[in-house]
Amino acid sequence: MKLRKVMALAGTAVIAAGMMAGCSSQAEETTAATTAAETTAEETTTAAETEAETETEAEAEAETEAAAEGNADLSGSISMSGSTSMETFANALCESFMNLYPNVTVTAEFTGSSAGIESVLSGACDIGNSSRNLSEDEIAAGAVENIVAIDGIAVVTDPANTVSDLTKDQLVSIYTGEVTNWSEFGGESMPIIVIGREAGSGTRSAFEEILEIEDQCAYANELDSTGAVMARVASTPGAIGYISLDVLDDSVKALTLDGVEATAENIQAGSYFLSRPFVMATNGEISAQNELVQALFDYVYSEEGQELVSSVGLITVE
């Protein structure tokens, strides 16, 4: 009897082991099948993604080729003249546009805003660059104000000047000659050398109009370019001047005005009061200009063109 019980128990153990082995085998087969299915799905997805990427690249290449063919159709020249403050932007625009349209030549001369408007109205150039709003007389003569960017005007001193901030009223008192020594503002006892731009400069016009001191300034020197103003201020102890924000560098010290720094962000927020438009004026509406000039404005107002505006430190137009 004991032997039969032992044999029965052994048989039961063998059957159980067989059943477990069978379950294990089925589980392994199921797992293998699942893994194979997942691998097949992954391979299918990867193949689909690769095919989609290839199609996207092919479409992009086709668009680039089509654009290149279209760009090759434009040829000729565009001439700009005017604001020296717009030199950095104008040069960048010329280079970028000519890269896009290899058969087009764009040139820019820097003669001052008023001279640029006169040139476009007389037909001497295609576009007159102005770093100020157009006057009523200029508009009446046919000039159209096309604002392409917003620029800030930085007030700068020589790097050694210990004064770092001025209020609007203090700035007015300096440029009208009411205050003539830096000690009045907590600085060293040193004469204030007032540097400005020449008559006809867009920067000067904007600066004086914003401060409401037209024809009241007591300039020690009136210089004919933004670069000349910055160089003179940098090398003259006690000097103060104003320049376009996009050309500001470490050779001079930029003052805060009413405690606000001259930055694109502060100008956009409206907290920095010295700002003005950059205008590419035309004789008549843009739609009345030749194909090349219209293409240039299309580019300036495009997403790529406004990225160019930002890249040179200017503020884009909405």
HSE value, Cβ hemisphere, 13 Å, CA-based, for 124: 14
Reading the chain (318 residues) residue by residue, the pLDDT tens digits are: 433 443 343 344 433 444 444 434 444 444 444 454 455 545 555 555 555 555 555 554 544 444 445 566 899 999 999 998 899 999 999 999 999 999 999 999 999 999 999 999 999 999 999 999 999 999 999 999 999 999 899 999 999 999 999 999 999 999 999 999 999 999 999 999 999 999 988 899 899 989 999 999 999 999 999 999 999 999 999 999 999 888 899 999 999 999 999 998 898 888 999 998 999 999 999 999 999 999 999 999 999 999 999 998 888 986
Fold of 152-275: D-Maltodextrin-Binding Protein; domain 2 (3.40.190)
Bridge partners of 226, per DSSP, are none
Residue with tokens 């956009």: 268
Domain with CATH 3.40.190.10 in the chain: 72-149+277-311, 152-275
Of the candidates 253, 294, 276, 113, the residue with the CA atom closest to the CA atom of residue 207: 276
Determine the Cα–Cα distance for residues 209 and 8; give it in Å rounded to an integer: 112
* 3-state DSSP assignment of residue 4: helix
DSSP code of 177?
Answer: T
* 3-state DSSP assignment of residue 151: strand
CB 119 within 8 A of CB 141: no
Fold of 72-149+277-311: D-Maltodextrin-Binding Protein; domain 2 (3.40.190)
